[in-house]
């Protein structure tokens, strides 16, 4: 069974951007398939390969896909990758990118792991009978399970595995900060900030020398860092302002969130409804624009005391 790209896109619309194809008997996926959420292909035994252009926004479930013999060279999974029981796999691509966890339990045909494999959470190798050693550069953030493998000296192999600690950075590979693993494509110095561009679209990090901000873009990251600094100072930093005081757009957003406690998602949703922005606003203008929004009465009262 196969589906056209259009049919799959329609299915995703009904499932919040994710795609659940368990038990469908699908034998092939169309090229240029982009799944915004998770992709579940559990038990699709007739599937022998995945398209090179496949993009997944969350986790990828390939449990029991016994006909799968290889994975795309550039496969990138922002969440977890479940390959339990994929007995047809003999190796994994060298540039496999998995951000969270990797489950290879029962992959009896697997004989090796990629040299630069890095997972931020756990790696399960139970029952991988063809696996006799681990690569020297293997990085695992949490738990490593390899009972029932072909590995003889378990203690020696465990000592080879590097554990992640906050602030770890390996050029061209990864940054581990605030408990989050980011696979890094490149690092750049931009003014007072260090920008780590992620291999996964929208997974980037900005560093100001003290704090990290995980973000979709440099601008978002800088705004988050400024918000962290402002939040530490508290609402009292704005007591000297009056209704006629002028602040920049970004300062206005930060000020509103700190005074009202509004979350980032709710604030972004509110801002998406504003068509035209100015570079600067008076506090009085902010009061009028936000009237009726979350925390607006708290914000207005703060400046009318």
Residue 184 and residue 99 in one domain: no
Q: Which of 212, 229, 246 is the last residue of a domain?
A: 229
Which pLDDT value is given to residue 304? 82
Residue 4 and residue 35 in one domain: yes
Residue 281 and residue 248 in one domain: yes
Confidence of residue 70 (pLDDT cuts 50, 70, 90): very high
User: Is the model's pLDDT at 305 over the cut of 80?
Assistant: no
User: Is the model's pLDDT at 227 over the cut of 80?
Assistant: yes
Written as one string, the DSSP assignment of the chain is -B--HHHHHHHHHHTTT-EE-TTS---B--TT-EESS-EE-TT-TT-----TT-EESS-EE-TT-TT-----TT-EESS-EE-TT-TT-----TT-EESS-EE-TT-TT-----TT-EESS-EE-TT-TT-----TT-EESS-EE-TTSS-S-HHHHHHHPBPP-TTEEETTTEEEETTEEEEEEEEEEETTEEEEEESSTT-EEEE-SS-EEEESSHHHHHHHHHHHHHHHH-GGGGTT--TT-EEEHHHHHHHHHHHH---HHHHHHHHTT-----SEEEHHHHHHHHTTSTTHHHHHHHHH-
Instruction: Please tell me the total count of domains within the chain.
Output: 3
Mean pLDDT of 90-113: 93
Q: Which of 111, 139, 164 is the last residue of a domain?
A: 164
Residue 118 and residue 24 in one domain: yes
**Assigned token pair, 174:** 């990864």
Sole residue written with tokens 């890094």: 184
- Do the bridges between strand 102-103 and strand 81-82 make them parallel or antiparallel, or are there none, so unpaired? parallel
Average pLDDT taken over every residue of the chain: 92
* Nearest CA-CA partner of 204 in 58, 95, 99: 99
Residue 17 and residue 121 in one domain: yes
User: Is the model's pLDDT at 20 over the cut of 90?
Assistant: yes
* Nearest CA-CA partner of 58 in 30, 117, 86, 99: 99
Which pLDDT value is given to residue 263? 84
Q: What share of the chain in percent tops pLDDT 70?
A: 100
Q: Which of 164, 187, 206 is the last residue of a domain?
A: 164
Burial (0-12, 13-18, 19+ Cβ within 10 Å), 232: exposed
pTM given for the model: 0.78
User: Is the model's pLDDT at 46 over the cut of 80?
Assistant: yes
Mean pLDDT of 213-225: 92
**pLDDT single digits (tens) 155-168:** 888 899 999 999 99
Residue 253 lies in domain = 234-305
Residue 55 and residue 131 in one domain: yes
* Nearest CA-CA partner of 219 in 201, 206, 209, 236: 206
User: Is the model's pLDDT at 59 over the cut of 90?
Assistant: yes
Mean pLDDT of 4-30: 92
Residue 109 and residue 187 in one domain: no
**pLDDT single digits (tens) 271-303:** 988 888 999 999 999 999 999 999 999 999 999
CA distance 216 to 218: 7
CATH number at residue 83: 3.80.10.10
Residue 86 and residue 21 in one domain: yes
CA distance 217 to 222: 9
User: Is the model's pLDDT at 110 over the cut of 90?
Assistant: yes
Which pLDDT value is given to residue 42? 96
**pLDDT single digits (tens) 256-265:** 999 999 888 8
Residue 204 and residue 239 in one domain: no
Residue 126 and residue 252 in one domain: no
Residue 188 and residue 91 in one domain: no
Residue 51 and residue 31 in one domain: yes
CA distance 91 to 72: 11
């Amino acid at each position: 069974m196969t589906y056209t790209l259009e049919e799959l896109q329609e299915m995703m619309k009904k499932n919040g951007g994710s795609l659940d194809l368990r038990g469908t008997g699908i034998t092939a996926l169309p090229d240029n398939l982009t799944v915004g959420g998770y992709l579940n292909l559990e038990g699709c035994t007739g599937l022998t390969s995945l398209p090179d252009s496949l993009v997944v926004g969350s986790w990828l479930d390939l449990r029991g896909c016994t006909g799968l013999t290889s994975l795309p060279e550039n496969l990138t999974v922002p969440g977890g990758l479940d390959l339990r029981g994929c007995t047809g796999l003999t190796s994994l691509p060298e540039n496999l990118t998995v951000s969270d966890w990797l489950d290879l339990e029962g992959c009896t045909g697997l004989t090796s792991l990629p040299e630069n494999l890095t997972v931020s959470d756990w790696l399960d190798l139970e029952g991988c009978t063809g696996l006799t050693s681990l690569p020297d550069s293997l990085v695992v953030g949490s738990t490593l399970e390899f009972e029932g493998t072909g590995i003889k000296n378990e203690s020696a192999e465990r000592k080879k595995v590097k554990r992640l600690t906050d602030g770890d950075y390996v050029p061209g590979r990864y940054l581990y900060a605030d408990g989050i693993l980011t696979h890094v494509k490149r690092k750049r110095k931009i003014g007072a900030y260090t920008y780590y561009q992620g291999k996964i679209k929208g997974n980037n990090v900005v560093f100001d020398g003290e704090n990290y901000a995980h973000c979709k873009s440099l601008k978002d990251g800088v705004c988050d860092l400024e918000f962290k600094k402002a939040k530490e100072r508290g609402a009292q930093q704005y007591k000297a302002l009056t209704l006629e005081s002028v602040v920049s757009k970004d300062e206005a957003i930060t000020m509103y969130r700190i005074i009202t406690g509004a979350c980032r998602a709710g604030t972004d949703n509110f801002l998406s409804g504003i068509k035209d922005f100015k570079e600067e606003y008076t506090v009085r203008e902010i009061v009028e624009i936000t009237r009726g929004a979350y925390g607006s009465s708290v914000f207005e009262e703060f400046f009318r005391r």
